[in-house]
Structure 1
Amino acid sequence: MFLDRKFSSLKRGALLASAIALALVALPAASKAEIREMRLRAGTSQSDQHPDFLGFKKFAELVGEKSGGKIKISVAPGATLGTDVQMQANLQAGTQDFMSGSPVTMAGQIPQVSILDLPYVFRSTEEYDKLMDGPVGAKFNQLMEEKGWIGLGFTNNGFRETTTKTKPITKWEDFQGLKIRAIQNPMYLELFSTLGANPTPLPVSEIYTALETGTVEAQENPLPQIVFMRLFEVQKYLSLTNHSLNSVVMLVGKPTWNKLNDDEKKIISEAAREVTLYKRELVKTKTSEWLESVKKAGVTINEISPEERQRFAERVKPVVEKFSAEFGKDFSDMYFAELKKIQAGSN
């Protein structure tokens, strides 16, 4: 009898141990159950062929896979949900969840973002990527969070280039007297004035017509815009001036972020990092395709020699110094110190 009771007790203990072991093994599955079903909205002002949109489509796919299909993200292209500034407000209000666009459009609320557009600062897109993956990117993320946005990753659409109708740009003096469409932005207007051009601010929607009618004879944009806006139809030369980098940031609104639990935030963050790396490579791959399509359209493409690029940088140095001072000495010093480290390491 005693042996029967002892055996029964041992059996119950073994069963209990097995149950605990099974429960421990099942923990990851329990974590999966923390993911709730939800539908979220993302938007970009770019077309459905643009890297910004393609990156978001990839993001939606990854989030869907990682959440077991529970988190669904719809992506609206072509400014369907508003301009960059309008979408930023949507994210702050919680009426939209995600967006991607130029961080420089946040300048009204975060003046420091304009430092990213300073001319002849970056020598390559890799320098920008490293800078934004380090302390500088972390600082921008802090500034954005204070305004109601959570930064999910910085990418770029390559350098801004110059297209013209009558002559190519081979040296900075070629800008003298050139009537060029420029962004309605003090730094860009001063940049082209310093080069001797006559900058004319116009909305993006008016660029093609202005070039076609001769209202302006030149414009500057990153390659995706030049291709997707078909500006090669009304321009004869594409000069790879590489005067400024076209930065992009992917954001989630703080109201949306605060509603997510830790497991959901992890899925969003992991997918965003994967897409950041994916989009950086996508733009590099697409650049040769964009150049080839412009060339096939009959546009003459020319590069700027390293010597002339240095002359450009020297010419616009006062512009860099003037606008850097407006961002605050501590911030600007930190920014350029980090960039200098990166550039020293790549020499």
Structure 2
Amino acid sequence: MTISRRTALGALALPALTGSARAQATRLRFAHPHPDSDSWSRASRLFAQLVNERSSGALQVQVFGNGALGSDPTTIAAARGGTLDIVLTGNPFFTGLAPKLNVLDLPFLFRDRRHVAAVLDGRIGDQLRQELDGANLRVLGFWDIGFRNITNSRRAIAAPADLRGLKIRTTPNPAHIKAFQLLGANPSPMPFTELFTALETRTVDGQENPTTLILNARFYEVQRHLSLTRHAYTAGILAMSKQRWEALAPAQRDLLQTVANEVTPQQRQMNEDAEAASVTELKAKGMQALEEPDRAAFARIVTEEVRRDFTGRHGTALPDAIDAAGA
């Protein structure tokens, strides 16, 4: 079911929330790992506000950002177990539960954000949502983290050879790990909530994330070099405990999905709008930014090899469909 159809169904169900539903509030806890200045925080607060207002207080969402309720794996596990209601974190942290989601993290897969939206908001996105059903999670939407870039504390990264020997924090996603192995780096997966300290103590030399998150997480305080490699796109998954979802009234479910459908494109736009300005601000904060690294050289090394690993396990249908989407 596409987003537009879900929105229409949700809108029809809203009147059912009035009347006796106001008498007893249902409280939902929503956790994510990003800092308060990030678009995830702004959009999650908007999500909470709209749910609270449109349910006349019958549904009350409380947002816990900045990793307050634990690391990425911890909050996912809590949502799966029913002790946390809503979790938002990066797609790479879900791929151990649903390996086909790894397709979204293949290097140099997406052409631009229009391509991303064509995939995530259409038939392919609906198919990928279903991959987490067996993990006791209900996907409400795909939010934006963005195109990933490399930072480090040692040297400028203009070409793949510059990465050799550097210890780079990655997500636990197999595509990210394999790509940095092929580039000659030493990938070191860890939760986002542990990353600043690891960079500060030089436990790792660098990391890779979108510039908006590099800025909002203040990585410029502990990293000197930024290379705009844009080597992969990362989506965030907004998911709800399936146990909690099924315990709600149908009208409440429809309201949550409707609001998620409205806020998702707004969050993506927030992040896209902030991206260009973030590079300028990172430079002002003292980072040395290499804006035109040899992206083609990076792509030649990683694209086919990492994709071959995925298709060997899951076939070519998903990546081929993504290539064709939005063309």
Which TM-score band applies after superposition, normalised by the shorter structure?
A: 0.7 to 0.9
Q: CA deviation at 1:223?
A: 2.2
Distance 1:204 1:141, change over 3 A: closer
Q: Deviations over 1:215-243 (max 9, x none)?
A: 54432222243223322123322111011
Distance in 2 between residues matched to 1:299 and 1:67, nearest whole Å = 46
Q: SS where residue 243 of structure 1 aligns?
A: coil
Q: For the Cα contact (< 8 Å) 1:115–1:327, is it kept in 2?
A: no
1:237-248 mapped onto 2 (5 Å cutoff): 237-248=225-236
Shift of 1:206: 5.5
Q: Under a length normalisation based on structure 1, what TM-score does the superposition of the two structures give? A: 0.81
The 4+ residue runs of structure 1 with deviation greater than 4 A are: 27-31, 200-216
The reply on whether 1:131 has 2:114 as its aligned counterpart is no
Task: Give yes or no for contact 2:72–2:191 (8 Å, CA) kept in 1.
Answer: no
Match of 2:305 among 289, 298, 319: 319
Return the alpha-carbon distance in structure 1 between the equivalents of residues 189 and 78 of structure 2.
27
* Cα drift, residue 207 of structure 1: 4.3
Q: Are residues 210 and 108 of structure 1, via their aligned partners in 2, closer, same or farther at CA, if it must alter by over 3 Å?
A: closer
Preserved CA contact (<8 Å) 1:111 1:327: no
Larger radius of gyration: 1
- What's the offset of the Cα at 1:150? 1.1
Contact between 2:17 and 2:55, CA under 8 Å: does it hold in 1? no
Where does residue 339 of structure 1 map in the other structure? 322
**Structure 1 residues 109, 314: closer, same or farther in 2, change over 3 A?**
same
Counterpart amino acid of 1:334? A
What root-mean-square deviation, in Å, do the aligned CA atoms of Structure 1 and Structure 2 show?
2.6
SS at match of 2:109: coil
CA distance change for structure 1 residues 166 and 148 in 2, over 3 Å: closer, same or farther? closer
Where does residue 276 of structure 1 map in the other structure? 264
1:168 and 2:156 aligned: yes
Q: Does 1:309 align with 2:292?
A: no
Matched-pair contact (CA < 8 Å) for 1:170–1:303? no
Range with greater deviation from structure 2 (263-272 or 198-207):
198-207
Q: Does 1:61 align with 2:53?
A: no
Once the two structures are superposed, residues 9-68 of structure 1 have per-residue CA deviations (whole angstroms, 9 ceiling, x without a partner) of xxxxxxxxxxxxxxxxxx996763364532211111222222222221110111122112
Distance in 2 (alpha carbons) for counterparts of 1:200 and 1:281: 31
Aligned 8 A contact 1:171 1:304 in 2: no
Q: Which structure carries more relative contact order (alpha carbon 8 Å, separation 6+)?
A: 2
Deviation larger for 125-134 or 32-41: 32-41
Q: Which runs of 5+ in 1 are unaligned?
A: 1-26
Q: 1:58 to 1:187 in 2, by over 3 A?
A: same
Partner residue in 1 for 2:223:
235
Do the aligned partners of residues 83 and 171 (structure 1) sit closer, same or farther apart at CA in structure 2, a change above 3 Å counting?
same
- In the alignment of these two chains, the number of paired residues is 313
1:181 is paired with a residue whose SS is strand
Please say if residues 156 and 248 of structure 1, whose CA atoms lie closer than 8 Å, have aligned partners that are also in contact.
yes
Query: Conserved in 2, the CA contact under 8 Å of 1:34 and 1:263?
Result: no
Report the equivalent of 1:159.
147
CA distance in 1, matches of 2:68, 2:198: 24
Instruction: Give the equivalent residue in structure 2 for 1:9.
Output: none
